[in-house]
Amino acid sequence: MWIDRLLEFIPGPLDLLLGSLAAVVMLGSVIPIVVSCHGWGWRIGDTRKLFHFLIFSGAGALRYFGSIAMVAVYGSWVALTVLLSVRRGSRSSLFLALARPEDEDARGFNVLLSTLSTALGGVAAHLLLGKLALVSYLVTGCG
């Protein structure tokens, strides 16, 4: 049973197209919002929470209306965007809006660790719960 659920992550052409389109739309709107809020003096914890809320809401909506493969494509684009922001470090406005200053040298590592744990949690939720895993996306994004 879990093997069948694991195979559901393999995207077809439509999953690639719609998952990528959803990522472009969400990232194209979420990043400017989060970076602007950071620039307006919002605390890092608040801009991180806003980013999580918006990204996880997108994943939940995509899972409700689409396949887990679409969510996997969407999540891959989000993870790649976060990875690139970590690579740029303090030259990236997104990184500055997500990374806690008090983490000092481990800021990038901690952002990557939370991205990896989010991906593994999403896979585990799907393997255990199937389509009901979308509830975990919303709880994680809002919690």
**Chain segment 100-126, per-residue pLDDT in tens:** 888 888 999 999 998 898 889 888 888
Higher pLDDT, 1 or 107: 107
> Which of these, 91, 87, 56, 51, lies nearest to 74 by C-alpha position?
56
Q: Dump pLDDT digits (tens) for 43-98.
A: 888 888 888 888 988 998 999 999 999 999 999 999 999 999 999 998 999 998 88
pLDDT of 143 > 70? The answer is no
More confident position, 136 or 28:
28
Burial 14-52 (b: 16+ CB within 10 A, else e): ebeebbbebbeebbeebbeebbebbeeebebeebbbbbb
- Given this model, what pLDDT does residue 37 score? 86
State the virtual CA torsion across 135, 141, 142, 143 in degrees, nearest 10. 90
**Has residue 22 got a pLDDT over 90?**
yes
Contact 37, 97 (CB under 8 A): yes
The two tokens of residue 15 are: 């999953």
Write down the pLDDT at residue 141: 73
